[in-house]
Amino acid sequence: MIAKFMDWQEKNQDAGIPCLKRINILAHSMGTRVFRNSMNYWSKRFAKSQHVPFMFRNSFLVASDVANHTLEKGKIGYAICEASKNVVSYYASDDLALRTSKAANVKNGQVGRRLGHSGPENMKKNNNDVPDNVYAVDCNDVNTDYDSPMGHSYYIENKNGKPNKVFKHIKEIIMTGRVKADDKRMVTIND
């Protein structure tokens, strides 16, 4: 699909009809694994240069079931960072679904924290391999309020069926194209 989109975009560009639409993508849980692997595969097999072209205004990674170092330079998820203006990782350390996944991954020989549990690894260090367009959003204070008891699907609505603070945060970023964060590129969503 990505290759077809890029071909379509290139043909229209050559015909003088540039694509002016902004594309935002949201990947939840194992959907982040699908997105990451798809971008990595496409970048290795179909990209026409050594770098992935800019495709997405925002890539929202919510409760991601992938290793927390996956977005670093040289890792399999780095293509997401190259293709996006902003990569926003929402996480909660008490996400019960990811605890189960972590146990399953240890059993399969893949030890490590999940991106949806702790956010990107090494975000707080000055010299790290996490690109400057990656932001970490701590949802620990709200995730189980919105999705009790699992705390895994906390980005949609509150108990009254209204958009919750996480959903509103995503909407604000889509509307403005900017992530309001501290100097370490971190945000906390709380009640």
Residue that is written with structure tokens 């990656």 in the block: 134
Confidence at 104, pLDDT banded by 50, 70, 90: low
Contacts of 107 (CB under 8 A, 6+ apart): none
- Residue 12's pLDDT is 83
pLDDT per position as a tens digit, 160-181: 888 999 999 999 999 999 999 9
User: In the chain, what percentage of residues exceed pLDDT 70?
Assistant: 91
Considering only CA atoms, which of 175, 174, 98 is closest in space to residue 139?
98
Residue 102 pLDDT greater than 70, yes or no: no
Distance CA 110, CA 103 (A): 9
Residue 91 pLDDT greater than 80, yes or no: yes
Confidence at 88, pLDDT banded by 50, 70, 90: very high
Contact assessment for residue 62 and residue 95, using Cβ atoms and an 8 Å cutoff: no
Relative to beta strand 24-28, strand 134-138 is unpaired
Q: Tokens at residue 79, please? A: 């293509």
Average pLDDT over residues 16-26: 85
Residue that is written with structure tokens 């900017």 in the block: 178
Residue 150 pLDDT greater than 70, yes or no: yes
Contacts of 85 (CB under 8 A, 6+ apart): 54, 56, 57, 58, 133, 177
Confidence at 131, pLDDT banded by 50, 70, 90: very high
